[in-house]
Each structure stands twice: as structure tokens, then as C-alpha cells.
């Protein structure tokens, strides 16, 4: 057996006793699920039945980052070689291994017809069900085993209902991991990670529970707390010398819609003591073409945008990446445009944490934003299908704020940077 340290008793138990046809490591983030699967997989390649092997990730890029890089470091340059990188064929420790990206239904057709003696599945809950079902059907070599890791999702998710919580599948073993099972993490890191998640995200990513995302998405938002006089707060910060006026950065964000709702927000990034960054929403623009019974062109909206900003200078404006014509009009008018990061679920999680931590407030004048935050809910029908999805209504200001906050502080702008002319 390969010697590894430090490993918790639970991690060692998984590595030693994951001997069922289906072995599942699920639970919180950074809880050592992935490395446990990787180590067990290496041992299986040496000791398991002969035949082709499969390794799956959400994409081949995430599989490389999460699993293969560590695996290659362990076996060394002489322990692996690419047989056909384009086709995803590897030789590891003398075993033929095929790698697959499993983020869409196309992967199912690539697996169909193959025969595997074992499989490793990274982030399995992110696959279409048809891909995993097909993989299990293809593991027909006697003694074949599958090793899976995943973070929790909805309890209606197919992997939970059909595999984890399905007593009809007898040849399986399941381990639930939490961060404390990863002995390489120090207490300060664990504490900081716990502060990143709120609500349903805390239950899933920290506690490792499969829970439903239901009701109001931003249920931590309280108008009496989070709607303030932003101008007065900025004046207070400056007067108390918590921030220098030159350190404030003003910018805008936009959720585009000419036939529905056009939503803009003006924001200021406030660097507070101890490295904390606060975002204040100073004002909103909300034009409902259906209610107004009048649509405007992009060029008309650009003139309205300039009038709305008035004398306020902005560094840039975050825009929905799909709003090509609107971005072009903004650039022609001399504005610097950045593609917003449109990762919906991670963006929602990040905004929720900012609200809970007192790092996002909006001005009392933002009445449309207040109304939408109070009616922005999870799609109950999607939940029954095991998917987290906001109901696509009353979401325009919510999308605008998500662009403004998550792109600015979370994962950064996606796509090209359009330079001011």
C-alpha cells in the first residue's frame, strides 16, 4: 500500500475498505474526498482486474486539474504516457485508461459499446444521469469497481435518489466527509471557508447535507437592515478616516433587455480596514417596456444611461456577455465595457454571503431592487428534477447585482476586455 500522511481515520477507511462495486465519497468541500479517490484509484490500477479503465470529470480540463495532475506527480514521468491525447487515451502504470468529459449527453455515446474493468468519477453529480447509467452498464468485467466523489446537491438529484439513497443497490459503500476529515487544513482556513457559505450553501458545502434550495433565494436580505442612506455611510467612512475618497471605485452593471426590462445599477467599491471590501449600490435604473408599452433602441438607451449617470464618472460597466449590440453602443459612446461573469449558482452563493456578512448594502431609493429581492425564489419544479434554478421572473435587478458583485469580487470578468476609445 502507498503510504500517505496525514490521513484521517475516515480517509484511511475509504482507501482501505472501498471494495464494493460502487464506492461513493460525498460531503463538504475540501474534505479530502478527491485525494482519497485518487489514492484508492492508483491502488486499484495495480491490484484490480485486467481490462480498460475509465476516468470521468465534468470536463477533461477539470479532471486534469482535480485528479490527473496529482496522479501524475505521484507516479512520476515514467509512470504514465499519453497514447492519444486527442482521443483521451492514457497508459498509467501499464494500464490503458480512457478519460472523458461528462458535462453533456454526448459523453454517453462515447462510452456506449465499451467494456471497462473500473472507473473513477470526479464531481459525479455534475454529469447527466444517462452518462453515469451507461458507465455502470459498461463495467461488465468481473470484479469491476467504481469510485465516485461529489459535493451534495438537491435531495431530488438523480445521484442521491437513484444511487446514494437507493436501498435496492446492495453492492455499494458510502462515506460522508466533512472538512475536519482533511487533517491538512488548519483551523483558520476552515473558519474562513465556513464564512464563505450561507443558507442552503452552508448546509451543502460545509455540513455536507443534501438539502433543498427552496423559497426566497436571498432570505437573509432584510430591507430594514440592508437598505440604507449610502451617501451618509460614505460620508461617515471618510470623516472617520476609514477610507480615503481616492480609494473609492465607482462602476456600473447592466442586465440587458429592450423588449422586457432594462436594469442598471451604480456601485461603489469601498476598501475597509482589515482587507474587507464592501459594495454599495447607490442607485438603480429600471425600465419595464411591457408596462410602459414603449420600447427603446440601444442608442436611445445609451443616451438615457449617460443622463442617468450625470456627472458621476465610472471605471467600467459590467454587461451580460450575450448583449452584443448593447455593448457595442456603450463602447461607441466611450464607456469601458467588461463581460460580466454569468455563473448563476456560484454568483448567487457569493452575493448571499456578501449580504450576510454586511458587505453589500443598497440605497433606500432602490425600490425595484427591494421588490425583486423579496420575490426572487427557487424554481420548485426544477427542484423536483434535482436541479437548482432560480425562477425566471422578478430577477432583473438580482442579475444586475450578481454581475456587479460576483464579477468584481468573486471570479472576475469573463470574456474580452473592451478598451475605451
Work out the end-to-end distance of the chain between its first and last CA atoms, rounded to an integer number of angstroms.
62
- pLDDT value of residue 4: 52
What's the sign of the alpha-carbon dihedral 365, 367, 373, 379? negative
> What does the pLDDT average to over 178-201?
90
Residue 25 CA to residue 124 CA, distance in Å, equals 10
Strands 53-57 and 80-84: unpaired
Question: What's the mean pLDDT in 163-190?
Answer: 95
Tell whether the model's pLDDT for residue 416 goes beyond 70: no
Q: Given a cut of 90, is residue 410 above it in pLDDT?
A: no
Q: Are the CB atoms for 263 and 323 separated by under 8 Å?
A: no
pTM value > 0.95:
no
- Domain 9-186, what fold? Rossmann fold (3.40.50)
Which three three-digit cell numbers place residue 36? 482519497
Q: Is the pLDDT of residue 82 over 70?
A: yes
CA neighbor of 355 nearest in space, from 279, 410, 266, 407: 279
**pLDDT of res. 413:** 55
pLDDT (0 to 100) of residue 20: 98
Residue-wise pLDDT for 200-245, tens only, equals: 889 999 999 999 988 999 999 999 999 999 999 999 999 999 999 9
**pLDDT above 50: residue 1:** no
Per-domain boundaries in the chain: 9-186, 223-418
- pLDDT of 34 over the 70 cut: yes
Q: Alpha carbon 206 to chain centroid distance?
A: 15
Neighbours of 392 (CB within 10 A): 8
pLDDT digits 0-9 by tens, 273-294: 888 899 999 999 999 998 888 9
How many H helices and E strands in the chain?
A: 18, 16
The DSSP result for 162-227, as a single string, is IIIT-TT--SEEEEEE-GGG-TTS-HHHHHHHHTT--THHHHHHTT-------SBTTTT--HHHHE
Q: Is the pLDDT of residue 400 over 90?
A: yes
- Expressed in percent and rounded to 5, the helix, strand and coil fractions of the chain are 40, 20, 35
Question: Which H/E stretch holds residue 57?
Answer: strand 53-57
Tens-place pLDDT, residues 326-353:
999 999 999 999 999 999 999 999 999 9
CA distance 160 to 384: 12
**How confident is the model at residue 6, as a pLDDT?**
81
Quote the pLDDT of residue 254. Answer: 97
Length of the chain: 421
Per residue, the 3-state secondary structure of 263-320, as one string, reads EEEEEEEEECHHHCEEEEEEEEEEEEHHHHCCCCCHHHHHHHHHHHHCCCCCCCEEEC
SS3 for 126-166, per residue?
HCCHHHHHHHHHHCCCCCCEEEEEECCCCCCCHHHHHHHCC
Architecture of domain 223-418: 2-Layer Sandwich (3.30)
Amino acid at each position: 500500500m502507498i503510504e500517505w500522511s496525514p490521513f484521517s481515520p475516515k480517509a484511511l477507511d475509504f482507501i482501505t475498505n472501498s471494495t464494493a462495486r460502487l464506492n461513493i465519497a460525498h460531503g463538504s468541500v475540501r474534505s479530502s474526498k478527491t485525494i482519497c479517490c485518487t489514492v484508492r484509484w492508483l491502488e486499484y490500477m495495480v491490484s484490480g482486474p485486467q481490462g480498460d479503465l475509465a476516468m470521468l470529470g465534468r470536463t477533461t480540463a477539470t479532471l486534469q486539474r482535480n485528479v490527473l495532475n496529482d496522479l501524475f506527480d505521484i507516479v512520476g514521468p515514467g509512470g504514465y504516457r499519453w497514447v492519444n491525447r486527442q482521443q483521451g487515451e492514457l497508459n498509467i502504470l501499464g494500464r490503458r485508461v480512457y478519460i472523458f468529459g461528462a458535462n453533456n449527453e454526448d459523453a454517453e455515446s462515447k462510452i456506449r459499446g465499451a467494456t471497462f474493468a473500473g472507473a473513477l468519477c470526479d464531481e459525479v453529480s455534475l454529469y447527466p444521469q444517462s452518462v453515469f447509467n451507461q458507465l455502470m452498464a459498461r463495467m461488465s468485467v468481473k470484479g469491476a469497481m467504481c469510485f465516485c466523489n461529489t459535493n451534495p446537491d438537491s435531495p431530488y438529484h438523480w445521484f442521491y435518489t437513484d444511487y446514494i439513497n437507493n436501498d435496492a443497490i446492495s453492492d455499494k459503500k458510502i462515506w460522508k466527509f466533512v472538512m475536519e476529515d482533511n487533517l491538512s487544513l488548519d483551523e483558520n482556513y476552515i473558519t474562513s471557508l465556513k464564512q464563505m457559505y450561507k443558507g442552503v450553501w452552508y448546509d451543502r458545502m460545509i455540513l455536507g447535507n443534501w438539502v433543498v434550495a427552496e423559497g426566497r433565494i436571498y432570505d437573509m436580505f432584510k430591507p430594514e437592515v440592508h437598505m440604507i442612506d449610502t451617501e451618509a455611510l460614505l460620508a461617515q467612512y471618510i470623516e472617520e478616516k476609514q477610507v480615503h475618497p481616492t480609494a473609492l471605485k465607482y462602476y456600473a452593471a447592466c442586465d440587458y433587455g429592450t423588449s422586457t426590462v432594462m436594469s442598471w445599477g451604480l456601485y461603489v467599491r469601498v476598501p475597509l480596514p482589515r482587507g474587507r471590501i464592501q459594495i454599495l449600490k447607490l442607485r438603480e435604473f429600471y425600465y419595464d417596456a411591457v408596462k410602459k408599452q414603449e420600447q427603446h433602441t440601444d442608442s436611445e438607451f445609451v443616451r438615457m444611461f449617460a443622463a442617468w449617470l450625470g456627472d458621476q464618472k465610472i471605471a467600467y460597466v459590467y454587461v451580460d456577455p450575450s448583449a452584443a449590440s448593447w455593448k457595442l453602443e456603450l463602447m461607441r459612446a466611450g464607456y469601458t465595457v467588461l463581460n460580466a461573469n454569468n455563473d448563476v449558482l456560484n454568483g448567487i452563493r457569493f452575493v448571499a454571503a456578501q449580504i450576510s456578512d454586511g458587505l453589500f448594502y443598497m440605497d433606500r431609493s432602490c425600490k425595484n431592487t427591494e421588490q425583486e429581492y423579496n420575490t426572487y425564489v427557487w424554481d420548485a419544479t426544477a427542484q423536483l428534477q434535482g436541479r437548482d434554478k432560480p425562477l425566471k421572473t422578478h430577477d432583473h435587478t438580482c442579475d444586475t447585482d450578481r454581475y456587479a458583485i460576483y464579477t468584481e469580487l468573486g471570479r472576475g470578468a469573463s470574456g474580452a476586455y473592451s478598451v475605451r476609445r
